[in-house]
């Protein structure tokens, strides 16, 4: 299929391009490079030996969207382009709603003008909020605790209403758990612009000597070792879930949410220990207070994705840490070192 990938130069998008091309899909990227660099696509092209049409532009720009639709005529769109920093979203709510909700609306309008009927959306487990029960299944109540989470839930609602209004539209809502890891080539990976917000890139920067120690946010949670537990998923498994979603979208209509996780969870201390195994050196840590807004634990029930998308994660924790370490140690300054 011809698949337009918004935000395709980003962390998850770049890995997804490779998996799509490996399965014979044609791809086109629209990215405004607000959180990526063009070097990413240079590397993806080298790894895939494939052609990638690409446009530098904003997903909120109708003229740009029309130009892309006309040039590429996508049969499906995977919509990664968005903002993702939970803390920043509270400080800049209008910006987050503009990009994450406004961007999705602008994209849907352009798809309607172009006759494109299938959209795969980057949603997040954060739409669930404080767990009423775990593992979360897709019927768990949604009650996001951040502007970021609200923006994802609003976009889900818009997509659900869009798909309900027309009999032949498809919206696949992928609720990601915690993506980590890097491509096996160590050529592409996660490259945070500033101080990493997330655990795994922070640990990786400590391991490579860019930061002195990891702060462990909270050791008094109701978890076996007192630190927060998450369902970490290898980015290549997550990328493959998008390929599965494209196949699903060919044969299904309506809107449907899917949890994309492994169904297992690990604590902060588990992650530090696994990373130490991968890099062969100690990761210095300091105990710090809980981070505002964090929940104790979360875990996916990913059985719907297994049954309906025919997808399941296959990489384990050691694959996640080893690939992160390979990427970080070969690219200590990320893409900037290129
Ligand atoms: P990323 O920042 O690496 O990728 C997003 C890409 O979108 C970047 O290349 C950025 O330049 C581009 N972009 C941003 N705003 C744009 C705009 N207005 N127009 C065009 N391009 C724009 O992030 P990622 O980790 O790859 O995440 C991709 C998607 O998945 C995001 O929507 C994010 O909210 C969602 N998500 C991420 C996580 C996570 O932990 N990484 C978890 C759940 C959901
Ligand atoms: N943590 C630390 N020290 C750090 C960073 C994180 O102890 O320096 C802890 C957190 O307190 C938490 C765990 O590591 O217990 C994971 O934190 P992350 O920031 O890596 O991930 P979150 O679960 O908070 O959030 C991530 C993304 C969200 C997404 C969510 C989906 O940032 O965008 O996963 O589950 F919505």
**What are the tens digits of pLDDT across the range 191-211?**
999 899 999 999 999 999 999
Q: What is the pLDDT of residues 144-189, one digit of tens each?
A: 999 999 999 999 999 999 999 998 999 999 999 999 999 999 999 9
% of residues, the chain, pLDDT over 90: 97
Which structural domains are found in the chain, ordered by start? 2-182+232-263+299-314 (3.40.50.720)
What pLDDT, on the 0 to 100 scale, is given for residue 91?
95
Is there an atom of ligand 1 within 6 Å of 84 CB?
yes
DSSP-assigned letters across all residues of 93-159: HHHHIIIIIIHHHHHHHHHHHHT--EEEEEEEGGGS-S-SSSSB-TTS----SSHHHHHHHHHHHHH
Q: How far apart are CA 107 and CA 6, in angstroms?
A: 9
Q: What mean pLDDT is predicted for residues 261-270? A: 98
Give the Cβ contact number of residue 329 at 10 Å.
14
Mean pLDDT of 221-243: 98
For ligand 1, mutation pick of 61, 82, 174, 257 (most atoms within 8 Å of CB): 82
Model pLDDT, residue 143? 97
For residue range 19-71, list pLDDT tens digits in order: 999 999 999 999 999 999 999 999 999 999 889 999 999 999 999 999 999 99
Report which bound ligand comes closest to the CA of 294: 2
pLDDT number for residue 293 = 87
- Radius of gyration over every alpha carbon of the chain, rounded to an integer in angstroms: 19
| Distance, C-alpha 18 to centroid of its chain | 15
From 5, 8, 34, the mutation candidate for ligand 1 (largest count of ligand atoms within 8 A of CB) is 34
pTM: 0.98
User: pLDDT (tens digit, 9 = 90+) per residue, 71-123?
Assistant: 999 999 999 999 999 999 999 999 999 999 999 999 999 999 999 999 999 99
The Cα 277–Cα 31 span in angstroms is 36
Residue 338 has pLDDT above 90, yes or no: no
Q: What is the pLDDT of residue 51?
A: 93
- Could you count the other beta carbons within 10 Å of the beta carbon of residue 219? 17
Task: Please tell me the distance between residue 224's alpha carbon and the centre of ligand 1 in angstroms.
Answer: 32
Cα distances (Å, whole numbers) of residue 116 to 53, 112, 245, 301: 18, 6, 16, 31
Alpha-carbon dihedral of residues 71, 39, 321, 79, nearest 10 degrees?
-20
The stretch 217-234 carries a mean pLDDT of 97
Best CA proximity match to 267, nearest among 233, 224, 314: 224
Asked if 30 and 57 touch (Cβ cutoff 8 Å), the reply is yes
Q: Could you tell me if the CB of 269 is within 6 A of ligand 2?
A: no
Contact criterion met (CB below 8 Å) for 228 and 218: yes
Which of 216, 218, 201, 224 lies closest to 323, judged by CA? 201
Given a cut of 90, whether residue 337 has pLDDT beyond it is no
Give the residue whose CA is nearest to atom 9 of ligand 1.
10
Give the chain's mean pLDDT: 97
| Distances, alpha carbon 259 to alpha carbons 17, 128, 238, in Å | 21, 11, 11
Q: Is the dihedral of CA 113, 258, 14, 189 positive or negative?
A: positive
Token pair belonging to 45: 């092209």
Q: Whose CA is nearest to atom 11 of ligand 2?
A: 217
CA angle in degrees (0–180, nearest 5) for 68-74-75: 165
- The secondary structure of 204-263 as a DSSP string is HHHHTTSSS-EEEE-S-SSSTTSS-EE-EEEHHHHHHHHHHHHHHHHH--EEEEEEES-S
Percent of the chain's residues with pLDDT above 70: 100
């Amino acid at each position: 299929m011809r698949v337009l990938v918004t935000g395709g130069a980003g962390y998850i998008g770049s890995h997804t391009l490779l998996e799509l091309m490996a399965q014979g899909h044609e791809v086109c990227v629209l990215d405004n490079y607000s959180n990526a660099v063009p070097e990413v696509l240079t590397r993806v092209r080298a790894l895939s030996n494939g052609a990638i049409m690409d446009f530098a532009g904003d997903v909120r720009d109708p003229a740009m969207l029309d130009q892309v639709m006309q040039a590429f005529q996508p049969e499906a769109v995977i919509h990664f382009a968005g903002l993702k920093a939970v803390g920043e979203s509270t400080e800049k709510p209008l910006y987050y709603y503009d990009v994450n909700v406004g961007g999705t609306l602008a994209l849907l309008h352009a798809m309607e003008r172009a006759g494109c009927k299938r959209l795969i959306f980057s949603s997040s487990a954060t739409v669930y909020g404080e767990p009423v029960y775990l593992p979360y299944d897709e019927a768990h109540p949604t009650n996001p605790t951040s502007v970021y989470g609200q923006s994802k839930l609003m976009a889900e609602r818009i997509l659900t209403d869009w798909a309900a209004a027309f009999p032949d539209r498809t919206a696949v809502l992928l609720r990601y758990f915690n993506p980590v890891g890097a491509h096996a080539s160590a050529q592409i990976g996660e490259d945070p612009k500033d101080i990493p917000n997330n655990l795994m890139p922070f640990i990786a920067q400590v391991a490579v000597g860019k930061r002195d120690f990891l702060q462990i946010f909270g050791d008094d949670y109701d978890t076996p070792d007192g630190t927060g537990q998450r369902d970490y998923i290898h980015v290549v498994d997550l990328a493959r879930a998008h390929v599965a979603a494209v196949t699903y979208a060919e044969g299904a209509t309506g809107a449907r949410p899917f949890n994309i996780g492994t169904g297992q969870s690990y604590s902060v201390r588990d992650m530090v220990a696994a990373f130490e195994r991968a890099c062969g050196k100690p990761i210095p840590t300091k105990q710090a207070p809980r981070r505002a807004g964090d929940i104790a634990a979360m875990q996916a029930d990913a059985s719907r994705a297994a049954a309906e998308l025919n997808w399941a994660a296959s990489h384990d924790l050691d694959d996640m840490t080893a690939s992160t370490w390979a990427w970080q140690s070969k690219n200590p300054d990320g893409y900037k070192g290129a």
